[in-house]
Amino acid sequence: MAELGRQIARRRAELGITDADIPRNGGARRTESKKALLKAIKDAGGNW
């Protein structure tokens, strides 16, 4: 997995792709359980 991560990072750099270019998931179809999990992570100080 580590090698795959390096390959992806290298390819993204070659193409000039940054994190700002990749859209985040809007969450329009999230289940209530997923919403609760993300809220619990946020309440615990995490940022998902």
- pLDDT score of 20: 84
Handedness of CA 27, 33, 39, 41 (dihedral sign): negative
Longest distance between any two alpha carbons in the chain, whole Å = 39
Instruction: Please tell me the distance from the alpha carbon of residue 39 to that of residue 41, in angstroms, as a whole number.
Output: 5
Which residue type sits at 11? Answer: R
- pLDDT score of 13: 95
> Does position 48 have pLDDT exceeding 80, yes or no?
no
Domain ranges of the chain: 2-43
Report yes or no on whether pTM surpasses 0.75.
no
pLDDT in tens, 1-47: 999 999 999 999 999 999 888 888 888 999 999 999 999 999 999 87
- pLDDT score of 23: 84
- pLDDT score of 19: 85
User: Does residue 27 contact residue 20 with C-beta atoms inside 8 Å?
Assistant: no
According to DSSP, residue 27 is labeled: -
Tokens describing residue 18: 């940054």
